Structure 1
Amino acid sequence: MKCPRKGDYMNRQNDLVKRINNNYSKFSKGQKLLANYIIDHYEKAVFLTAARLGKIVGVSESTVVRFANELGYDGYPKLQRALEELVKTKLTSIQRVEVTTDRIDQSHVLRSVLQSDADKIKYTLEEIEEAVFDQAVDMILEAKTIYIIGVRSSATLANFLGFYFNLVFDNVKLIHTNSVSEMFEQIYRLRDDDVVIGISFPRYSKRTLKAMEFAKTRNASVITITDSLLSPMIQFADCSLIARSDMASFVDSLVAPLSLINALIVALCIKKKDVVVEALGSLEQIWTEYQVYDNDDDLNIGYNLNLKSDKI
């Protein structure tokens, strides 16, 4: 299977609007009311049930369902998913807070958030293509230098990936700056035998997008880790790994992306098992010599000393 490319991104980005425009003349009066409302108020329509949307527009719930079918979607939930893709980059932080307040059961916040995160991993598992994942692994293994780029909330993911990649590879460069000029200063040596791993989720960082665009001008291989085939990251990618994230929450949900990154690290460790074992063996000696980690003996000594001091 081929990875999504720029053409796929551009086609999918306008898909819902195109469907409405292409079919508008054939719509019934009620369907035209729905079409107009969605085009004018898509940021509100995305969060409405079929029944609620019908009530606002003044049509029946069955009319809403038929409208979704007329557009070529297999039911209203698929239309709603298309709406989510349309609005995810449009919501401001304030709007995201308002939406979160409306959608979360405030009497069971913990349960609501954990269940939402579990659902994102489930959806990611259902939607991701293993062939694409395997292709990304091969691209990383073949690269002369591996660049990892992620800023703002995605910097956490980039740092995690960079930490473990540095245990496996000796050719990793983690780009950790929020300055556009400094970012280009760190990647200007990019070559066609390098790979760039760009990580970005809504709201997408322009700095990361510019870095991906620059990588393509240097003919470097580009792997993106993002949330959707509608992500603007797709247009610069040779290979895209898709992990679902919450498009409405003020706090970005990075559970599924982190799980995907875990899988990527494990897959590469398996491919380079001998190198990893040797590296960890050397590191264990260093960690022990320089007391990087607490160990049971240290804890027991401290515990016994405390007991003796209490008796004194």
Structure 2
Amino acid sequence: MQDLLRSVSESYEHFSSGQKKVGDLFFREPIFLAFSSALEVGRRVNVSESTVIRWTQKLGYKGYAEFQQVVQRKLAEDRLEQSEQEARPPNADQSFLENLFDAEIASIVKLKQSMKEDVLLQAVDLISSANRIYVTSDFFDYGLAHWFAGWLDMTVGSTEMIFPSDRHYYSQLAKLEPGDILIAFVFPRYTKMVVETVQSAKDRGAGVVLLTDSSKSPAVNFADISLTVDVSTNLNIDSYTAVHALLTSVMRFVYVKEHAKVKENLARLEAVYNDKNVFY
């Protein structure tokens, strides 16, 4: 993040008065620019959306979305580097709970070292361009898959779970076609039914984004893109902390890439919440 701050600082004297306001906000609150639209940033410092976009272009980016992705990545790298420095190997001086938390931090650090950003962005591109999105999983991963499918449907729309025990399963399979994608959670213990679902989607011409634990997963051969996350631990309970972190990263990239659509869909949902007086 320091190199990005230094780049903005070195370019500061060449900014217009409005662009300097954006630069000042970036120095104070980089996280605000990382997860807010150009319009929201402009409103925050009383400049136009186009001023914010031109500011990022003056820094050498194609536009605001590209700059925002870089800021998000830099912030994540800084956070994980800090976690690496703070993490300690298991020892008798720590409580059992502290050692467990260190193990979870280590799982995210391992994901950071193994996950290639270009592969993740390819998955995001497939999600963004899909006509319809289906999400499936083993029954061990159903809760996580259901949560992710719900977020996708809420933000980009046209998303539903496809699960062999559901009475709509075969009619959903019949609808799969080129232009659709299947996002499959396939972690141990692998079930035959989820692998068969992935194969059926592939056979029908749909794209397949696979989340799995290993290149030896039985579903890998049917995937267009595989996002691999190790979930094994030295306990009898697998850890999905890193999987959740990966999904959150996908969600943030989708939010940036499809910001207008996501914002419109969330605003529509919020209007229903308000109309029905859902929350205290």
- Which residue, 73, 78, 99 being the options, matches 1:112? 99
> What TM-score do the two structures reach when normalised by structure 2?
0.63
Partner Cα separation in structure 2 for residue 145 and residue 130 of structure 1: 24
Structure 2, unmatched stretches of 5+, are: 1-89
The answer to whether residue 173 in structure 2 is matched with residue 187 in structure 1 is: yes
- What percent identity do the matched residue pairs reach? 26
Structure scoring higher RCO (CA < 8 A, sep ≥ 6) equals 1
Mapping of 1:122-133 within 5 angstroms? 122-133=109-120
Matched ranges for 1:144-223 at <5 A: 144-178=131-165, 183-223=169-209
1:142 paired residue number: 129
Amino acid at match of 1:277: K
8 Å CA contact 2:138–2:190 kept in 1: the answer is no
Taking structure 1 as reference, are residues 109 and 185 closer, same or farther at Cα in structure 2, changes over 3 Å only?
farther
User: Of 248, 252, 257, which aligns to 2:243?
Assistant: 257
Unaligned runs of 5+ in 1: 1-102, 295-312
Deviation of 1:202 after TM superposition, in Å, equals 1.2
CA distance in 1, matches of 2:133, 2:161: 8
Of 230, 242, 247, which residue of structure 1 is paired with 2:228? Answer: 242
**Residue 226 of structure 1, CA deviation:** 0.9
Q: Deviations over 1:248-290 (max 9, x none)?
A: 5332211111111111111111111111222222222221221
Q: What CA deviation, in whole Å up to 9, does each residue of 1:211-240 have, x standing for no partner?
A: 011111112111101112122221111100
Which is greater in Rg?
1
**Equivalent residue number for residue 227 of structure 1:** 213
TM-score normalized by the length of structure 1: 0.56
RMSD over equivalenced CA pairs, Å:
2.2
Residues 151 and 178, structure 1, Cα contact 8 Å, conserved in 2: no
Q: Check conservation: 2:229, 2:243, Cα contact below 8 A.
A: yes
**What is the rounded CA distance, in whole Å, between the counterparts of 1:161 and 1:145 in structure 2?**
15
Quote the Cα distance in structure 1 between the aligned partners of 2:248 and 2:278.
24
Conservation of the 8 A alpha-carbon contact between 1:184 and 1:211: no
Aligned match of 1:293: 279
Q: CA deviation at 1:142?
A: 1.6
- Deviating more after overlay: 249-258 vs 259-268: 249-258
Q: Label 1:281 to 1:207 Cα distance change in 2 as closer, same or farther (>3 A).
A: same
The answer to whether the 8 Å contact 1:193/1:221 transfers is yes
Matches of 2:178 and 2:91, distance apart in 1: 46
Contact 2:156 2:265 in 1 (8 A): no
Aligned mate of 2:267, from 264, 278, 281: 281
**Is the Cα contact below 8 Å between 1:151 and 1:177 reproduced in 2?**
no
Which whole-Å CA distance do the structure 2 matches of 1:215 and 1:250 have between them? 32
